[in-house]
Amino acid sequence: MKARVHVMLKDGVLDPQGAAIQHALGTLGFKGVEDVRQGKVIELDLADGTSADTIAQMCEKLLANTVIESYRVEVL
Amino acid sequence: MRAAVIVFPGSNCDRDMAVALKAAGADVTMVWHKDAELPDVDLVAVPGGFSFGDYLRCGAIAAQSPICKGVVAHVERGGYALGVCNGFQVLTETGLLPGALMRNAGLKFICKTVELNVVTSDSAFTEAYTAGDTVDFPVAHHDGNYTIDAEGLARLHGEDRVAFTYGDNPNGSIDDIAGILSENRRVLGMMPHPERAVDAGHGGTDGQALFRGLLGQLTNA
């Protein structure tokens, strides 16, 4: 089985990289880009039957820093 | 005083840290990250650098290395720890210090000497300074933008645990915070490099008092 973990800065945490991307899109002439948030995607190839709880522990212990980041798991 | 300096793949201030500690009179042992146990020491120093290439997040992989279990155990026993730059990031990732270090607000890597305010002298690390002193330490980081939630921030201020603030905030850190202490005041994490300010030939000696004070406190303990 495969799982895809999306890690994003929490709402309210300033994302300077997202702001820089937003600015660059504006420079390229794209209008109406009101906000950009940058995160990361981590794909896991897991033994069949790995529980959602185990994947959540992987996120909590390592994949996301829950002080500043939130995560979402998508089982593929 | 006996001190251990942890060496991760990608550490680059480990020898500077050892030189600064030895100059202040410490017996220093270098400890490789794969060692599961620390030697019997009074202080563990987690040095600056780019441990594990800053993969995933700065300090995140190092915080899971075997030696970090030993560092956590050392601190839980009441041992002293100093984390500088990447070492500060490692200590926040292990949970030994609260908050997190994010990408600099200006997105640039910053490498220069900055002025810091000593906020408290109530710790072994800062007792040789006077609160209100200003010191010049170099910074060299891309991810030094300290953040913490409002409740945690109020605790840091309320418990007098902000050790250093920036005179002119270079990286966007909340409340200009450059270094913080643990609840028992025996762990200091800071982004600026005191170990790079211990030799007049290398741009200043303001960091000497930190190591001298630490040695004085721990040797008498």
User: Residue B220: pLDDT above 70?
Assistant: no
Task: Look at residue B181 and give its three-state secondary structure.
Answer: strand
- Determine the distance in angstroms separating the CA of B93 from the nearest CA of chain A, rounded to an integer: 8
User: What are the residues whose beta carbons fall under 8 Å from the beta carbon of B156, sequence distance 6 or more?
Assistant: B98, B148, B162, B177, B180
For residue B105, count CB atoms less than 10 angstroms from its CB and return exposed for 0-12, middle for 13-18, buried for 19 or more.
Answer: middle
B103 contacts chain A (CB < 8 A): yes
pLDDT of residue A36: 95
Identify the architecture of domain B2-220 in CATH.
Answer: 3-Layer(aba) Sandwich (3.40)
Task: From chain A, pick out residues whose CB is under 8 angstroms from the CB of B105.
Answer: 14, 16
pLDDT of residue B6: 97
Residues B7-23 have a mean pLDDT of 96
Task: Compare all CA atoms of chain A with the CA of B63 and give the residue at the minimum distance.
Answer: A62
CATH of domain A2-75: 3.30.1280.10
Residues B116-128 have a mean pLDDT of 97
On average, the pLDDT of chain B sits at: 95
Contact B100 A65 (CB under 8 A): yes
* Distance (Å, whole) CA B20 – CA B17: 5
pLDDT of residue A48: 96
> Phi and psi of B173, rounded to 5°?
-55, 140
Residues B170-194 have a mean pLDDT of 98
A48-62, B85-99, B207-221: least confident range: B207-221
- Determine the distance in angstroms separating the CA of B156 from the nearest CA of chain A, rounded to an integer: 16
**Which candidate from B64, B105, B148 shows the least CB-CB separation from A16?**
B105
Q: What percent of chain B has pLDDT over 90?
A: 95
Residues B163-184 have a mean pLDDT of 98
Task: Compare all CA atoms of chain A with the CA of B146 and give the residue at the minimum distance.
Answer: A68
User: Residue B73: pLDDT above 70?
Assistant: yes
Residues B199-219 have a mean pLDDT of 91
- Alpha carbon A36 to its chain's center: 13
User: Residue B221: pLDDT above 80?
Assistant: no
pLDDT of residue B180: 98
- How many angstroms separate the Cα of B47 from the Cα of each of B50, B122, B213? 10, 23, 19
Residues B129-154 have a mean pLDDT of 97
pLDDT of residue B37: 87
- pLDDT tens for each residue of chain A, 76 residues long: 999 999 999 988 888 889 999 999 999 999 999 999 999 999 999 999 999 999 999 999 999 999 999 999 999 9
Give residue limits of the domains in chain A.
2-75
Q: Any idea of the CA torsion for A8, A10, A11, A17, to the nearest 10 degrees?
A: -50
pLDDT of residue B36: 83
Task: From chain A, pick out residues whose CB is under 8 angstroms from the CB of B100.
Answer: 65, 67-68
**Which candidate from B60, B99, B107 shows the least CB-CB separation from A62?**
B60
pLDDT of residue B65: 93
What would the pLDDT profile of B23-52 be if each residue is shown by its tens digit? 999 999 999 999 988 999 999 999 999 999
The DSSP code for A62 is I
Residues B117-125 have a mean pLDDT of 97
Residues B1-19 have a mean pLDDT of 96
- Determine the distance in angstroms separating the CA of A62 from the nearest CA of chain B, rounded to an integer: 7
Handedness of CA B61, A67, B6, B64 (dihedral sign): negative
